[in-house]
Amino acid sequence: MEASAADAYLDPARLGRDGFISGTFFPTVPPRVDYELTNLGRSLRPSVELLGVWAFSHRAEIQAARRCFDDANERAGNFA
């Protein structure tokens, strides 16, 4: 299974490497890691909230674009 671009950005190791989150490892069975946002990660909150507002207000256009994309790929025999 191939990872999507979104998966790459949501990977905890990458988010930690970039300084957005920190993790505390607990040597339990099964092992557990608790993650939290760093100050840098928290500083993104206003931008992420604005993106969410924008996405919500454009949801009909986004859904229409997805349908168009999916229909085109289905006609071409490409299945995601």
**Claim to verify: residue 20 and residue 50 sit in the same structural domain:** no
The predicted-structure confidence for 24-37, as pLDDT tens digits, reads as follows 999 999 999 999 99
- The residue segments making up the domain with residue 62 are 44-75
The predicted-structure confidence for 50-77, as pLDDT tens digits, reads as follows 999 999 999 999 999 999 999 998 888 8
Confidence tier at 1 by pLDDT (50, 70, 90): very low
**Locate tokens 């995601």: which residue?**
80
**pTM for this model (two decimals):** 0.62
**Claim to verify: residue 28 and residue 55 sit in the same structural domain:** no
**Claim to verify: residue 2 and residue 23 sit in the same structural domain:** yes
User: Would you say 21 and 37 are in contact if contact means Cβ atoms under 8 Å apart?
Assistant: yes
For 34, phi then psi, to 5°, come to -100, 125
Cα distances from 6 to residues 11, 54, 69, 76, in angstroms, run: 9, 18, 18, 24
**Claim to verify: residue 5 and residue 35 sit in the same structural domain:** yes
In the prediction, which pLDDT does 30 show?
Answer: 96
Cα distances from 34 to residues 31, 43, 52, 62, 63, in angstroms, run: 10, 20, 25, 33, 34
Tell me if 80 is assigned to some domain.
Answer: no
Q: Structural domain tally of the chain?
A: 2
